[in-house]
């Protein structure tokens, strides 16, 4: 038992947990609340070019469902938060670039593409339209537009872009409203009924994502990427792409939302809170993964009247404060795993420290120091136990020489020595084990916090969410592990001694691919542990 190493076991436990977590994400079945068939109408079918047909309460499918797809004209929009391209075909987004975030490995040269056109192997688009007894515009319908370039002007809070469609006695205006400083986009459908009969109109809003399903745990992403839904009754649950065929979404609720979550970013369709909506999903050929909602009840447009149907999109980073303000439960898409109860307070403290210092790297260092101070008594107990264990090494070596290969006698003699010296062989490990959940929670905070993406620290570290480009931090982490081993009691078993010698090299290689912010945390944590252990041992020597 004297060979147990608290820090080593803590790191090993972390790695095993991460591997187990990735395996679960790739292999665990979807867990979603059951919904009775009688309480929910049939989900919209999307088998024809991704165009939903109405539920059983609507008489006919849109005539355009099987019609040839027309080519639309591009419309460009620039605001302070995004650069978007839309098309007159459907009046939908074809691409959305985040103005304050850059694509991976682009070194600040290319804006991050949240929405992007379908090209067979990848793509992420939003589609919306109207359904009803008569013909209404959907994502394949051609609109007209006054201009092809729009920009949010200085001093203006809103930018409006309107697409127009006329068919017989029905006029529809699809209007996008962009707001300064916001990633929320309002979409309004204004329906003018110039005929002599009342019309029933439904609205749908959906996302389509192209992504090959992951079948191996080592192919899976470090964080959840897939569909998600939230309703007041069933709360938040995920719908992995791999499970969407066997477990399609089919729920009805007043309020809630449906989304596709990516690492750091989110696309969400938000119905008005008071609107009853049918949430659905489907896997289309490709495969393409579709998730969205349709209003459960029609809006009746009387003859000569005008009615407006509204929906809203969130297209932006998974910043907790922005998500919390956008819709109830949307913050849950920031995936901290089963340790959310610990991770959320850690993120709040980290964000507060960043607000004080203006640097996320410095905030990570201060948070590490704060955690070490909180756990100082436990760590001190661990180091005292290790220091006492180190003093017993000569006597334990003598016992091993005395009993030779008789492991039973050696173990009995060792336990007698522990009892005589009133030592707990687990005393050096248990305090560290208590800290493991905090370490894991902080790992997920640093891994899934978009604020660290493109956030510089100092010198060569320009992105705390990307690996250290020169591997300086992982090497420092390996060196710090070697110093920790020198302070610990010597390992007598030859096999364990070899394992201990190789572990700094293994962990250094492992951490080469970790985000720099995570490695920075481990380097600072190891340095503080070394200083604390040296201080405890020095005090014990004086005593």
Omega within 30 of 0 (cis) for the link into 287: yes
Residue 43: which of 285, 289, 270, 282 has the closest Cα?
Answer: 282
Taken in order 126, 129, 131, 136, the sign of the CA dihedral is negative
Closest CA to 507 of 532, 531, 534, 471: 471
> Around 468, how many Cα atoms within 13 Å sit in the side-chain half-sphere?
25
Query: How far is the C-alpha of 195 from the C-alpha of 197, rounded, in Å?
Result: 6
Residue 271 and residue 276: Cα distance in Å, rounded? 8
Nearest to 283 by CA among 47, 530, 500: 47
Contact indicator for 500, 491 with CB cutoff of 8 Å: yes
pLDDT given at position 125: 95
What are the boundaries of each domain within the chain?
6-19+343-542, 57-213+221-335
**Whole-angstrom Cα distance, residue 521 to residue 43?**
47
Please choose, from the candidates 282, 251, 290, 247, the residue with its C-alpha nearest in 3D space to the C-alpha of residue 41: 251
Model pLDDT, residue 122: 82
Say which residues have a Cβ less than 8 Å from residue 330's Cβ, sequence separation at least 6.
230, 257, 259, 266, 268, 314, 323, 324
Q: Are residues 150 and 76 in contact, defined by beta-carbon separation less than 8 angstroms?
A: yes
* Sign of the alpha-carbon dihedral angle for 315, 45, 332, 465: negative
DSSP H or E run through 297: none
Residue 24: its H or E element: helix 6-27
- Phi then psi dihedrals of residue 436, to 5 deg: -60, -45
- Does the global pTM surpass 0.85? no
Question: Which residues are registered as beta bridge partners of 280?
Answer: 250, 292
* Residue 152 neighbours by CB under 8 Å, 6+ apart: 78, 79, 80, 158, 159, 178, 180
Q: What is the pLDDT of residue 33?
A: 35
Q: 138: which DSSP letter?
A: -
Q: Of the CATH numbers 2.80.10.50, 1.20.140.10, 1.10.260.40, 2.70.98.90, which one belongs to the domain with range 57-213+221-335?
A: 2.70.98.90
Say if residues 82 and 97 touch (Cβ distance below 8 Å): yes
Q: Which two tokens stand for residue 371?
A: 């955690």
Q: What angle do CA 174, 60, 90 make, to 5 degrees?
A: 25
DSSP reduced 3-state for 111:
strand
| pLDDT per residue rounded down to tens, the chain (543 residues) | 333 344 444 555 555 555 455 444 444 433 333 333 333 334 344 443 344 443 333 333 333 333 445 578 999 999 999 999 999 999 999 999 999 998 876 556 789 999 999 876 789 999 999 999 888 999 999 999 999 999 999 999 999 999 999 999 999 999 999 999 999 999 999 999 999 999 999 999 999 999 654 544 434 456 889 999 999 999 999 999 989 999 999 999 998 999 999 989 999 999 999 899 999 999 988 889 999 999 999 999 999 999 999 999 999 999 999 999 999 999 999 988 788 889 989 999 999 999 999 999 999 999 999 988 888 777 766 666 666 666 666 777 777 777 767 677 777 777 777 677 666 655 556 556 767 788 788 888 888 889 888 888 988 998 888 889 899 999 999 999 888 777 765 555 566 667 677 888 888 888 888 889 889 998 998 898 888 878 777 776 676
Torsion of CA 428, 431, 435, 436, to 10 degrees: 50
């Amino acid at each position: 038992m004297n060979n147990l190493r608290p820090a080593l076991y803590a790191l090993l436990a972390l790695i095993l947990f991460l591997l187990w977590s990735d395996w679960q994400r790739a292999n665990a079945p979807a867990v979603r609340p059951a919904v009775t068939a009688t309480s929910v109408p049939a989900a919209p079918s999307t088998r024809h070019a991704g165009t939903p047909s109405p539920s059983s309460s609507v008489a006919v499918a849109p005539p355009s469902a099987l019609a040839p797809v027309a080519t639309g004209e591009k419309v460009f929009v620039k605001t302070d938060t995004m650069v978007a391209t839309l098309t007159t075909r459907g009046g939908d987004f074809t691409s959305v670039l985040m103005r304050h975030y850059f694509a991976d490995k682009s070194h600040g040269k290319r804006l991050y593409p949240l929405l992007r056109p379908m090209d067979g192997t990848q793509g992420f688009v939003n589609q919306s339209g109207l359904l009803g007894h008569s013909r209404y515009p959907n994502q394949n319908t051609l609109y007209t537009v006054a201009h092809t370039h729009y920009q949010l002007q200085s001093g203006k809070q809103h930018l409006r872009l309107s697409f127009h469609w006329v068919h017989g006695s029905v006029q529809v205006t699809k209007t996008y409203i962009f707001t300064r400083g916001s990633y929320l986009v309002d979409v309004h459908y204004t329906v003018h009924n110039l005929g002599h009969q009342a019309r029933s109109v439904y609205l749908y809003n959906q996302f389509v994502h192209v992504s090959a399903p992951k079948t191996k745990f080592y192919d899976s992403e470090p964080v959840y990427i897939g569909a998600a839904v939230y309703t007041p009754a069933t709360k938040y649950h995920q719908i992995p792409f791999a499970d969407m065929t066997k477990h399609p979404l089919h729920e009805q609720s007043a309020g809630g939302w449906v989304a596709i979550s990516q690492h750091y970013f989110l696309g969400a369709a938000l119905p008005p809170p008071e609107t009853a909506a049918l949430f659905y999903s489907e896997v289309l050929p490709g495969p393409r993964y579709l998730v969205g909602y349709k209003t459960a009840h029609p809006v009746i447009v009387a003859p000569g009247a005008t009615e407006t149907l509204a929906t809203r999109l969130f297209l932006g980073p998974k910043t907790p404060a922005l998500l919390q303000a956008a819709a109830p439960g949307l913050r849950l898409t920031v995936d901290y795993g089963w340790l959310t109860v610990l991770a959320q307070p850690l993120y709040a403290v980290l964000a507060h420290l960043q607000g004080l210092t203006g640097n996320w790297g410095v905030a990570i260092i201060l948070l590490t120091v704060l955690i070490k101070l909180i756990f100082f008594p436990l760590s001190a107990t661990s180091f005292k136990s290790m220091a006492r264990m180190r003093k017993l090494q000569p006597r334990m070596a003598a016992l091993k020489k005395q009993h030779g290969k008789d492991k039973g006698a050696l173990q009995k003699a060792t336990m007698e020595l522990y009892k005589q010296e009133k030592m707990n062989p687990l005393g050096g490990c248990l305090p560290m084990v208590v800290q493991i959940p905090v370490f894991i929670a902080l790992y997920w905070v640093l891994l899934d916090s978009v604020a660290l993406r493109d956030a510089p620290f100092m010198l060569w570290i320009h992105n705390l969410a990307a690996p250290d480009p020169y591997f300086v931090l992982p090497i420092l982490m390996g060196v710090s592990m070697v110093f920790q081993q020198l302070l610990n009691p010597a390992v007598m078993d030859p096999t364990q001694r070899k394992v201990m010698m190789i572990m700094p090299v293994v962990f250094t290689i492992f951490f080469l691919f970790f985000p720099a912010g995570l490695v920075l945390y481990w380097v600072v944590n190891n340095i503080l542990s070394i200083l604390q252990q040296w201080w405890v041992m020095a005090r014990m020597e004086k005593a």
